[in-house]
Amino acid sequence: MSGESLISVKDLVVEYTSGEDVVHAVNGVSFELNAGETLGLVGETGAGKTTIAKSILGILPDPPAKIRGGEIFMDGKNMLKLSQKEMRKVRGNKIAMIFQDPMTALNPMFVVGDQIAEVIRLHEKISKAGAAKKSMELLEMVGIPGERGREYPHQFSGGMKQRVVIAMALACNPQVLLADEPTTALDVTIQAQVLEMMMRLRDQRGTSMLMITHDLGIVAEVCDKVAVIYAGEIVEMGTKEHIFDFTSHPYTEGLFGSLPNLNTKTKRLKPIPGMMPNPSSLPAGCKFHPRCPYATEACKTETVPLFETEPGHLVRCLRRDPRQVR
């Protein structure tokens, strides 16, 4: 793993306007994705995970979404300042995205082989025959017989469709793959197949990956580093070992407590009480304090920064404030 930073996101702030309400979807998120590394973005519905990925790819619908601040650097260029035309070159060539629902990414009117070939021809100067041949190779690569490229999306099952989408995303050898819940819609045994394949291709090609998921099991398997997102903020970030073995933020703790454990007999789950705050009126202080079992008066008012408890392990919790004597 080379440690070179490929994408760096700094203080990203994204808002959505809906009617009179302003939804604070992403509130100052910073992280780096290094070459050859897989970063997991973990969080629940509405935490802002997908918004972050869409900001990187420059495909946020504006309106209603609006990037209010921050920078996203790739190759030394601030991607938020690129023109639509320059951004189109980045998409596909350097960054590609896989969505949760493979059906939305495929056009039901065309055979899948042609759709992959079209993506190749958009980004590469290559003959029609060359692109067709390459699209067959890509299908074989994701474990689909090349001749099935002549079939339409509806002739494929869900898992197969997701493979096609992955083949499409990898068509131009992107350096970064943004995977937004790529296996959530799939059955477990199919999920296992697809994950295995994604990891194999990632390792072969040295692709960096941003893995968006709510499933800590997938994180344990796929990711090197993890960022836990809550209400549009990173509440804990570190290596996989930091997050799983030295869980520090009460929210991360709560997520683990909510999961039934397969290996030990759990008598009763320890869920996080309450629910996600309304992103259009977030609580003051620590955004997790209304649900936190350790919340103190300070948590209700003070803005909590990320504390580095160990090199590379960041926690947004006053209990980890190194200035406080314990």
Q: Which residues bind to other proteins, rule: CB under 8 A?
A: 18-19, 44-45, 157-160, 187-193, 195-196, 214-221, 240-241, 244-245, 254-263, 265-266, 268-273, 275-276, 278
Cβ 192 to other proteins shortest distance, Å: 4
Q: How far is it, in rounded angstroms, from Cα 17 to Cα 198?
A: 36
DSSP element (H, E) containing 179: strand 176-180
The least distance separating other proteins from the CB of residue 236, rounded to whole angstroms, comes to 15
Cβ nearer to other proteins, comparing 7 with 23: 23
Instruction: Using the minimum distance from each CB to other proteins, give the nearer residue, 64 or 305.
Output: 64
Say how far apart CA 103 and CA 55 lie, in whole Å. Answer: 22
Residue 214 corresponds to which tokens in the numbers above? 């709510």
* CA distances (Å), origin 286, targets 9, 70, 102, 325: 22, 21, 37, 20
Q: How far apart are CA 317 and CA 289, in angstroms?
A: 10
Q: Which is nearer to other proteins, 230 or 307 (CB)?
A: 230
Report in angstroms how near the CB of residue 278 gets to other proteins at its nearest.
5
The least distance separating other proteins from the CB of residue 43, rounded to whole angstroms, comes to 9
Q: Residue 250 Cβ, how far from other proteins at the closest point, in Å?
A: 12
Closest CB to other proteins among residues 55, 191: 191
Between residues 143 and 146, which has the closer beta carbon with respect to other proteins?
Answer: 143
Q: 157 or 296: whose CB is closer to other proteins?
A: 157
Q: Give the shortest CB-63-to-other proteins separation in angstroms.
A: 12
CA distances from 59 to 90, 91, 116, 140, 250 (A): 12, 10, 20, 29, 33
21's CB contacts (< 8 A; 6+ apart) are 280
CA dihedral 86, 89, 95, 96 (to 10 degrees): 120
3-state SS, residue 187: coil
